[in-house]
Amino acid sequence: MRAHFFRCCPHRGHRHILDLISPAPGLALAGKTHYFTHMGRQTDILEFNDPGLVRRLCGPNHANLALIEDAFDVYVEAPGSSVHINGDAATRAQAGEIVREIYQRLERGWPCLIGDVRALVSVVGKDRVRAAAVDAIIPFPRRAPIVPKTPRQENMIRMLRDQVITFGVGPAGTGKTFLATAYGASMLARGEVTRFIACRPAVEAGEKLGFLPGDFNEKVDPYMQPIWDSLNVVLGRDEVERRRGSGEIEVLPLAFMRGRTLSDAFVMVDEAQNATVAQMKMLLTRLGERAKYAVTGDPGQSDLPHDTGSGLSHALCTLTAIKGIGTCTFAADDVVRHPLVSKIINAYGKDRH
């Protein structure tokens, strides 16, 4: 039996047959990792059951494989139902961990896009790639679940499940708002609550925008767009509009929460660093029966006047020892946006001006 071994040309996207190599005599092929040696570098062949999943594992235009190649200086090909990894022993092992985890996620029906692969690559060298835990996903009826990209995202999902009030704090781009929105939308879609309510302090980020034209929704929606964007991703635009029309979904400024009792609802407070101490107390004391809260923000990015204390910082100091309240603190290495974002955050963190 002979196997084609493909090698990347120096220019990405151009591949050619480098050589034909033969496996060791008597080597069994089913369900195992096989090894071939060529020009001093071995090739691991990972065999899988479903060639369709292997094609999805590669990503659009083999983008997932290209990311793995660039990260570990290996050559990766995926003919049929197998994945071939050529490189030295350490980098083959690291790349193989990621390939197996991607396949397992796809086999469960979970998504694994380029951002998920980038997150897996980022943890190699710090720790072994951990299989995504079944109890730390956000399920949706008739849709693929939301799978955490980092261990702290896993922790936040578990807190949202187990605690009544969860604080998710840390720098921009770590997925706090998206996870909180997705978890609340999942509870609504699965009938665990009857309402999803999201609010933000209507504080301008260092700019004076003046009065906005239009009706109430047209005035406040620009402030709330990140929440609507997340809802549209996890539920779909048509379902969001339907549930908004029926009153099941509300997205409004924090000030409009005064005087309400929030029962049988998932309540999300975003950009909570811009809430005053009085506003935060007002909001948290609206908690009713069968309700959950998620409070997200970055204490280091408050847009409040300098002489006004942040309700988020005050709550973190005052409330987190209370049973039923949990805090998940993210760091720059949890950033799941463009890889440059974590470097920008670290650079600003070192800047004292």
Per residue in 252-289, pLDDT (tens digit) is 889 889 889 999 999 999 999 999 999 999 999 999 99
Residues 197 and 339 placed together within one structural domain of the fold? yes
Residues 318 and 273 placed together within one structural domain of the fold? yes
When pLDDT is cut at 50, 70 and 90, the band that residue 306 belongs to is confident
Range of the domain at 100: 3-123
| Higher pLDDT among residues 94 and 337, named by residue | 94
When pLDDT is cut at 50, 70 and 90, the band that residue 21 belongs to is very low
Residues 259 and 228 placed together within one structural domain of the fold? yes
Rounded mean pLDDT, 7-20: 36
Residues 71 and 180 placed together within one structural domain of the fold? no
When pLDDT is cut at 50, 70 and 90, the band that residue 127 belongs to is low
In three-state form (DSSP H/G/I as H, E/B as E, the rest C), the secondary structure along the chain is CCEEEEEECCCCCCEEEEEEECCCCCCCCCCCEEEEEECCEEEEEEECCCHHHHHHHHCHHHHHHHHHHHHHCCEEECCCCEEEEEECHHHHHHHHHHHHHHHHHHHCCCCCCHHHHHHHHHHCCCCCCCCCCHHHCEEECCEEEECCCCHHHHHHHHHHHHCCEEEEECCCCCCHHHHHHHHHHHHHHCCCCCEEEEEECCCCCCCCCCCCCCCHHHHHHHHHHHHHHHHHHHHCHHHHHHHHHHCCEEEEEHHHHCCCCECCEEEEECCHHHCEHHHHHHHHCCECCCCEEEEEECHHHCCCCCCCCEHHHHHHHHCCCCCCEEEEECCHHHCCCCHHHHHHHHHHHHCCC
Residues 176 and 282 placed together within one structural domain of the fold? yes
In tens, the pLDDT along 191-224 reads 999 999 999 987 654 444 455 566 666 666 777 8
Residues 281 and 317 placed together within one structural domain of the fold? yes
Rounded mean pLDDT, 67-85: 91
> For the chain, what is the domain count?
2
Is the predicted pLDDT of residue 180 greater than 80, yes or no? yes
Residue 306 lies in a domain: yes
Residue 132 lies in a domain: no
Report residue 264: phi and psi, to 5°: 50, 45
Residue 166 lies in a domain: yes
Residue 302 lies in a domain: yes
Residue 129 lies in a domain: no
